[in-house]
Structures are given as structure tokens and as C-alpha cells.
């Protein structure tokens, strides 16, 4: 609509003053209009950064959750898996009530990172039993009995 109004204005200006730009010929006016529409179409496109923002937030939440899994398993063992469950369910519930779509998606992504943390807690214990990660010296007896129980599976 704005482009059409500008075209009408420039056509009136051309009829009133033959020395004004663009020139009076139909071909040059058509070329001028086409170029102006092409440039305005190229410069007025809105970029959608939602995907980049969501991807960066999920990447950050994975980066936060993985070290937390390692630290929690070191301090308390796999018995604290329920903390990840409560956090995941709380963030899932929160994402249902957030009005902003991008924020709701980010919170939902963090919720499922927390739920994935449950699985990672059990895998982290296996990594410790294999010797890939350090074990907590206060729980050395626990790890020894677990190694004996899982001798075939490690």
C-alpha cells in the first residue's frame, strides 16, 4: 500500500514537473517502480531469530545439566535421581502456563534436559564404576560392592 501511494505521488510529480526524477517515459517509471519494489522487498524482510535463540538456550541448558549430574553423583550418588524428576515435572508444568511461545519452548527444553538427567545419573554411576570419572572416597565401600555385583555388566 505504501509503495502504491509513493508511485502515485511520483507520477503526479512527474506530470507537474517534467524535470523531476524519474523521467516522464513509461518505461523509466516502470523500471523505477520495479527497482524500488525489489529493494524494499529485500530490505524490509524480517529475520526470525526464534530458532537461534531456542537452540542456544537448549545448548546452554545441556551445558548446565551435564556438570550438575556429575557433581550430584559424586556427592550423593544415584539416589538423588528424584531431584531431576521433580525439577523436570516442575518445569514442564511451568511451560504450560507461560504465555510467550519462545519462553515456553525454552522452559520445556530445560524440563526435558532435567528429565534426561535421571537417565544420566544412572549412566554416570556406571562411568564411575568403570573408572572413567573419579569416585567419592567417602563412598568407596559402596562402589566396591557395586563393582562386585556388576562384574559381568561392566
The average pLDDT across 68-87 equals: 95
Q: Do 22 and 59 fall within a single domain? A: no
3-state DSSP: the chain helix, strand, coil percent, rounded to 5? 80, 0, 20
Q: Do 14 and 58 fall within a single domain? A: no
Q: Do 102 and 81 fall within a single domain? A: yes
Q: How confident is the model at residue 1 (pLDDT cuts 50, 70, 90)?
A: very low
Q: Is residue 154 part of a domain?
A: no
User: Which domain does 85 fall in, by range?
Assistant: 50-149
Q: Is residue 67 part of a domain?
A: yes
Q: Return the pLDDT at 16.
A: 54
Q: Do 131 and 59 fall within a single domain? A: yes
Report how many domains make up the chain: 2
Distance between CA atoms of residues 45 and 14, nearest Å:
30
Q: What is the pLDDT of residues 43-73, one digit of tens each?
A: 555 667 888 999 999 999 999 999 999 999 9
Q: Do 64 and 8 fall within a single domain? A: no
Q: What is the pLDDT of residues 130-141, one digit of tens each?
A: 999 999 999 999
Amino acid at each position: 500500500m505504501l509503495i502504491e501511494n509513493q508511485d502515485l505521488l511520483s507520477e503526479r510529480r512527474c506530470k507537474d514537473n517534467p524535470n523531476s526524477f524519474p523521467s516522464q517515459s513509461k518505461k523509466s517509471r516502470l523500471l523505477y517502480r520495479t527497482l524500488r519494489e525489489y529493494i524494499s522487498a529485500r530490505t524490509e524482510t524480517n529475520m526470525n531469530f526464534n530458532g537461534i535463540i531456542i537452540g542456544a538456550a537448549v545448548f546452554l541448558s545441556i551445558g548446565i545439566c551435564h556438570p550438575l549430574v556429575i557433581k550430584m553423583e559424586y556427592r550423593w550418588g544415584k539416589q538423588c535421581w528424584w531431584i531431576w524428576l521433580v525439577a523436570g515435572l516442575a518445569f514442564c508444568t511451568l511451560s504450560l502456563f507461560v504465555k510467550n511461545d519462545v519462553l515456553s519452548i525454552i522452559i520445556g527444553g530445560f524440563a526435558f534436559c532435567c528429565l534426561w538427567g535421571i537417565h544420566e545419573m544412572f549412566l554416570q554411576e556406571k562411568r564411575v564404576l568403570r573408572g572413567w570419572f573419579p569416585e567419592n572416597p567417602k563412598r568407596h565401600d559402596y562402589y566396591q560392592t557395586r563393582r562386585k555385583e556388576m562384574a559381568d555388566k561392566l
